[in-house]
Amino acid sequence: MNKKVSILIPLYNAEQYIAETITSIINQSYTNIELIMVDDGSTDNSYELAKAYASENVKVFQQANKGACAARNKALELSTGDYIVFFDADDIMYKDKIKKQMELVEKYGDDYIYSSQWIPFKGDVPTIFSPKTVIDNDFESPIDWLTTSWPDKSGAVGIWLTPRQLIEQAGKWDETIVMNDDGEYFFRVLLKSNGVKFADNAYLFYRRDVATSITKTYSYKKASDILKTYISYEKILELKDTTEVRKALAFNYAKFIYIYHKKEKELVNIAWQRMEQLNVDEKWKIGGKKFQLLCQLIGFKNALKLKK
């Protein structure tokens, strides 16, 4: 199989990392790749640095600052590949990542979405790879991947290789949200698939502590967007309504309440209401070890009162 893979990067003020990211992509052992970068109004030298790599297979575009989701939608519109990988401008792609995933595509076809392991790092790219986590497996149902990932291990955007037909069915990135946009987007994509196929020895190296990361600052808008995406996940109950699914959904709200209980009373009240409507009883494993122990002993709500 030699079908084209489009790797799409929203680029914004990543001058410190973009050269290393591009190099990791153009050095892939799978060669039928196009790299499309859309600079989203960077104020540093990101665009100039990326432009230096421009070629027949590496294309760099510019737009006024509209946000990462708009840049991804633009890159998707400009892409021509049969398979799509959304990637961040500060992450690193292991040399065999696309090759290993495309080997699975040849075996299973275009009704599945293909994942890989992501390894967080600071400083130098790891040479020793950490053990696999709970999401680093095949899942015969995309719902099972979602309900496993929410309480235990979320997925980074760059782990996925997705057939274009699933992308087209799921629709565009939601340009109105700025936080958990990848969670909301791949929730829709996953539910269009027949399941998840995991590629062994295919890695995404996920850079931690990036100074310009959107997660570094707080705003009401960001908190509101997170809650909005968690509420959107409840659509899953139309497909599968079990205690385990409800627990996974409720965990999202519990996590939100734990993080924002001192900052956003109105949003936290909404999260409490949504969680209570799910009607599950769980001693959530959230926060540090002492807080988790309190949850086990007196329940999440009482532990939170003591924390206050």
Nearest to 29 by CA among 100, 77, 107: 100
Q: Is residue 43 packed enough to be buried (19+ CB in 10 Å), middle (13-18) or exposed (0-12)?
A: exposed
DSSP-assigned beta bridge partners for residue 6:
34, 84
Nearest to 39 by CA among 17, 79, 10, 16: 10
CA angle centred on 153, ends 118 and 249, rounded to 5°: 145
pLDDT at 282: 75
pLDDT at 242: 97
Nearest to 146 by CA among 103, 110, 191: 191
Q: What is the mean pLDDT of the chain?
A: 94
Nearest to 204 by CA among 109, 100, 60, 104: 100
The per-residue pLDDT for range 182-218, each reduced to its tens digit, is 999 999 999 999 999 999 999 999 998 766 656 667 7
Q: Please say if the pLDDT value at position 240 is more than 70.
A: yes
- In whole angstroms, what is the distance from residue 236 CA to residue 163 CA? 22
- In whole angstroms, what is the distance from residue 189 CA to residue 174 CA? 13
The per-residue pLDDT for range 248-303, each reduced to its tens digit, is 999 999 999 999 988 889 999 999 999 999 999 777 778 888 888 888 888 888 88
CA distances from 53 to 19, 58, 82 (A): 9, 7, 23
pLDDT at 215: 63
For 223, the 3-state DSSP assignment is helix
Q: What are the structural domains of the chain?
A: 5-214 (3.90.550.10), 218-307 (no CATH)
pLDDT at 213: 58
Strand 83-86 to 113-121 pairing: unpaired
- In whole angstroms, what is the distance from residue 38 CA to residue 18 CA? 12
pLDDT at 296: 87
Lookup: tokens for 89: 């401008």
pLDDT at 214: 61
Number of other residues whose CB lies within 10 A of the CB of residue 1 = 10
pLDDT at 198: 98
CA distances from 96 to 51, 58, 99 (A): 25, 19, 5
Across residues 164-184, what is the average pLDDT?
97
Contact at 8 Å (CB) between 204 and 120?
Answer: no
Report the share of the chain in percent with pLDDT over 90: 81
pLDDT at 212: 61
pLDDT at 216: 64
Report the share of the chain in percent with pLDDT over 70: 97
Local confidence band at 127 (pLDDT 50, 70, 90 cut-offs): confident
pLDDT at 308: 67
pLDDT at 210: 64
Which of 43-52, 112-121, 196-205, 206-215 shows the lowest mean pLDDT across its residues? 206-215
